[in-house]
Each structure stands twice: as C-alpha cells, then as structure tokens.
Structure 1
C-alpha cells in the first residue's frame, strides 16, 4: 500500500482528528522548546556569557527535559490523568516568561529547567495517546505526531529571527500566543482521552483483569535498553548541533543572528523528511529494520 492509500486509511479512522490535534500540540510545544537554543546568541551577548555557561544552560535544560520523562511516564502509568498535556504546557508557559524576563544566570537556569519540565510531561503522555489513537496504524500515527514536533522545532528559529532578533529577548513573550493555541489544540485530545480512560476502567472492572505486557519483563528491559542507547547517541549530536551551530556560522562566516536562525531552520526541518518516511516504511517492512537503519 502506497503512502497516499495509508493516509486515506488513517484519515478514515474515528480518532484521526485527535491525531491531528496531537500533531498540532507537538508542533507548538517543540516550537516553544526550540526558542531556547535559538536565542542563545542574543543571550550570550546580552549577559556576557561564555561557552561554558551556555553549555551549563543546555545541560540543565536537557536534564530536565529527559530525566523527568520516565518519572512522568511511571506516575501516569499508575495514575492516568486526562489533563496531563495542559499541565505540561503550563510549566512551559511559566518557563518562557521567566526566560524572556530573567537577567541573571540563576533565573535563566530556573527558566530552562521549567521549560524542560513541560517538555518532559508532554512527550511521553502525547506519545502514549498517539499510540492509542493510532490503533493498527501506530507507525504512521507516530510519524504524523513526530512530524508535527519536527516542523515546530524548525520554524521556532525562523520566528526568532523575525520576531526576537531585531528587537530583543523580551519579545520572546510573543510566543505565549503559541501557548494559547496549544491549549486550544489540546481540548479535543483531553476529551477523547478522558472517554478512553473511562471506557477502559469499565472494561477492566467488568472482566476483573488488568492489561498484560506484550513481552516478558526481561525482554522489555533489554528492548528499552537498546532504544535508550540509540536515542542517547542520536541526541548527543543533535543537541550539540542545535546549541552551537548558530555560533559557528556567525564566527566562521560572519553572518547575522537572523541569518544563522534561518540556517538552523534548514537543519531542523530536514529531520521531518526522515520522520515522515520512517512511519509508513516501518508499518510495511518492520519497525526494527527502520530503527537499525
């Protein structure tokens, strides 16, 4: 089945509007996340930071955005919460305000930690709901979801070049418009997920059985371990490029901050191409093959 037929098949699913809302939410969330690294050149100039301090900011942000994801996943596995996505966006909104207004290193660190915490809340929960809504088309559903994030992450630097770079870091507050749009996009997701949780609770109560893991505990740990290694290796170079690419372009080629953001946009948007292709290919030829390739 070619991609157009797959898209028509998934569009016919009852949960397709939820998948679109999830992609939109992921897009707006990752747009806000990308603002942090895109503003680094201005932040360095405004506060007189060195590269070690920029690296510390990146470290705190990445630790918050990554370490708390399994914590969030574990908590919501035990206690599912239909408003988990808006809760994460609230953290991101607070962090964006702090990032725009703080003029001290501790304030910036608190800001990026809060933004990262919002990301750590949204990603595992939104990915879970995407998998549930995708049914048998999980690969393609995840692609739609991930492409939303890739697109948002790519246009973030472009918007920073247009909105923030010419006027100053305080204009980051304009990105609160994206927060409002994200809350609006999350509304149908929360309704759908609430109905799903209620239905599942009734089914479990009627049968008296809990849902079982598809693999044994040992196989699950090994599988997740391999995926962690793959993701860790990927984000080592992705985070490095996103953090320092603009500085390299400015120093090596003498381009403006706005022009460097456009180059960063080209880099990040290219990831969406591979993401969109990976889902349908995984559905047809196997997800393990796509992962290893």
Structure 2
C-alpha cells in the first residue's frame, strides 16, 4: 500500500524540467478525445431525424454519455492512484473507437446507448490518467502544463458545431465513421505516451526510496485534514457553479438570442462558438498567470471578473453581445486548469482522484445543472432563467474561504 501511495506521486516536480513534447502530445490527444465525445451531441439532430427519437430519448443518450465520461472519472482516478496504469490510456481509447463505429452503424436505440456508454468509458479512462501525465511532465510549471493539457480538451469541445456542419449534416449518421481515423490516431499517440509513463514509474521507485519522509508525515496530515477536506468540497462547489453557468450559456443562450434578436439557428451558434473558443484561449493563459500570481487569485478573478459582464449580457444588443460573450468566455474559463492544479497541490498523493473530482464530477454536474435550468425555463421563462444563470459567477465570493497558495504549501511542508 505504501508503494502504491508513492507511485501516486510520480514526480518531485521541483527537481525536474518541463517535458514539453509530452505535454503537447497529451494536450493534442485531449483535443482528439473530446472531439470524439463531441460527436455524440452533434449527432442529436441526425439521430432524431433518422430514428424519430423523442427529446426524452435524446436526453437519456446525453445522460449516458455524461454519467460514464464525467461521473466515473473519480472512480477511475482512485483506482489508478493505487495502481498507476500507463496502458489504460490507449486501451480506453479503443473503447471509444468501438463506440464511434457503433453509433455510426446503429440501427436501434439501445445500440446507440451501448455505443455512447463505450465512448464515455474511453473518456473516463483517459481524463484522470491524462491529467496525471500532465502533472508528471510539468516540472515546476504546473499551471502552464495543466493549461496545455486542458486547452486541448476545450478546443475539442468547441469543434462540436463545426463537426455537425461540415461532416454530420452532409453525410448523416454514417459520417461518424470518419472519426475512427481520429480515434486511431489518438490510440497510436497514447502508446507513445504510455511508454514514457512506464519509464517514469520505474524512475520514481528509486526517488520514493530516498524520500520516505514525504509520505510518513501523518501528524501533519491529521492536523490539516479538516482544512483539506473543506477546501476540496468548496472547490468542487465552485467548479459546479462555473460549470452550471457554462451549461446555461451553451444550452440555452442560443434559444434566448433567437427569440430576442430574431436570429437563425446558424447565426446563434456563432455566439456559442465564440464563447467556447475564447474559453479555450482563457484556459491556456490561466495556468501561466496562476504560476505567477497565485492559483487562488486566478480562481477568484475568473469568477468575480466575469460576474458583472455575465449579468449585463442579457440586456445588450446583438453586436455588443459578440464582444461581451467572448470576454466572458475568456475570463471564466481562465480558471479551468487552475482549479485542477490547486486541487492536486491540496492532495498531492491523489492526483487521479482529485483530477476526476474536479474535471469529471464537478464539471459533469454542470450537465445535471442544465436539466435544472431547463425545468426553470419552463417554470419562469427563458429570460428569467438566463438572468438567473448570469448570477451564478457571483458564487465566486466563496473563493475567499479557500486557503492561500502559501497556506497550501505550508500544509505539505
């Protein structure tokens, strides 16, 4: 068990240089993985037309994807913290490969569900271990490393509208087969990553023997356990609030501006693409800024900096909304990678678990929040729901209750 604990902390980052080739490869594979995942929601209109699915059936497909891809991540992370599994990365993407083939050829609703579950399992396997690889390759630039990794995922998600417009709408359900090339490329690159990962595990066995005191400081762990548990729970809640706002924009803002500005569906999708694209840019810059100015400060700024702009968004004209939604996307997602690094430093021995909690559970709960927003829209109207969603970033005030970066370092030294 002690050996497993040591392996869950693969590197002493301060003693290693940043391995940029590994970071860029894992970031690119993150883009490929999330692009594969984006095929599912992009196919909803296609499946509805070809199979006559109800909105409830479509909702269940989305739930199946989110349940496996997001909510299972902490479980995968807990397992791999005890038993680091380099080759789980390419094996997981093999599940996604099979799922893509299944969804392209499915002739029944339940085959679609099974295919989506396989894609979700592949994604749930990839994310905690991918985040661990970014941690291992980070050196002393954890914020930058996590940004490179996470911006790949955000970019992959932003491709969903383009995937629908360029491939799925012209070629229909069978068009998803073209993404087997994407899955195949991801598997090949992950075999390269897995080989490097395996070598790092061998190296850390030597390092861990020299640094036994790092994992045996039980008195310090007991003393600060309450602070760590409280901070992780608060961080999950903050990420949930951010994800709930994110889901509100991506799921319902298009309907709002269609009604308010008289736009077409295609024109409304441009706003969503701008939000996602600038969010990806914000994700990249957030990490280096956190390395310089502090992680808690960037988390606070991303929530409270976007809050007044978000509240203004429902009341501006269509041209101003272009600019505003781009700025909001950049600011609020600047903390996307930072929250992961902050959690990893709070619990340095559980890299996979905390990554699964922050990226998987907390972000995945945003999908559950979108269901609540849909219910709220039916109850109080779309305009009031958008205004409610715009108030969610103000929850960032709770960031003041998180320990400072200096306090986190003090806890573990």
Give the TM-score, by structure 2 length: 0.61
Structure 2 vs 1, CA of residues 102 and 246 (structure 1 numbering), >3 Å: closer, same or farther? farther
Matched, 1:172 2:172: no
Aligned to 1:224: 232
CA contact (8 A) 1:18 1:188 kept: no
Structure 2 vs 1, CA of residues 75 and 168 (structure 1 numbering), >3 Å: closer, same or farther? same
How much has 1:197 moved relative to structure 2? 0.4
**Residue-pair matches, total:** 280
Aligned to 2:135: 131
For 1:249-264, list aligned pairs within 5 A. Answer: 253-255=263-265, 264=272
Aligned to 1:3: none
Structure 2 vs 1, CA of residues 53 and 245 (structure 1 numbering), >3 Å: closer, same or farther? farther
- The Cα offsets for residues 7-33 of structure 1, whole Å up to 9 and x where unpaired, read as xxxxx9451110011111101101111
- The Cα offsets for residues 215-258 of structure 1, whole Å up to 9 and x where unpaired, read as 643333222212221222233343455456778889974546xx
How far, CA to CA, are the matches of 2:32 and 2:114 in structure 1? 21
CA contact (8 A) 1:35 1:157 kept: no
Structure 2 vs 1, CA of residues 37 and 146 (structure 1 numbering), >3 Å: closer, same or farther? same
Choose 225-234 or 21-30, whichever is displaced more.
225-234
The match for 2:244 among 227, 230, 236 is 236
The match for 2:124 among 117, 120, 126 is 120
Matched, 1:288 2:296: yes
Aligned to 1:6: none
Report the 3-state secondary structure (helix = DSSP H, G, I; strand = E; otherwise coil) of the residue aligned with 1:170.
helix
Using CA pairs below 8 Å that are at least 6 residues apart, which structure has the higher relative contact order?
A: 1
Choose 196-205 or 90-99, whichever is displaced more.
196-205
The match for 1:108 among 101, 106, 112 is 112
- Unaligned stretches of 5+ residues in structure 2: 1-15, 302-413
Aligned to 2:315: none
For 1:194-233, list aligned pairs within 5 A. Answer: 194-205=198-209, 211=215, 216-233=224-241
Aligned to 2:153: 149
Report the 3-state secondary structure (helix = DSSP H, G, I; strand = E; otherwise coil) of the residue aligned with 2:165.
helix
How much has 1:58 moved relative to structure 2? 1.3
The match for 2:84 among 58, 80, 84 is 80
Structure 2 vs 1, CA of residues 190 and 261 (structure 1 numbering), >3 Å: closer, same or farther? farther
Choose 237-246 or 281-290, whichever is displaced more.
237-246
CA contact (8 A) 1:158 1:262 kept: no
CA contact (8 A) 2:94 2:187 kept: no
- The Cα offsets for residues 19-55 of structure 1, whole Å up to 9 and x where unpaired, read as 0111111011011111111111112222222222222
CA contact (8 A) 1:246 1:264 kept: yes
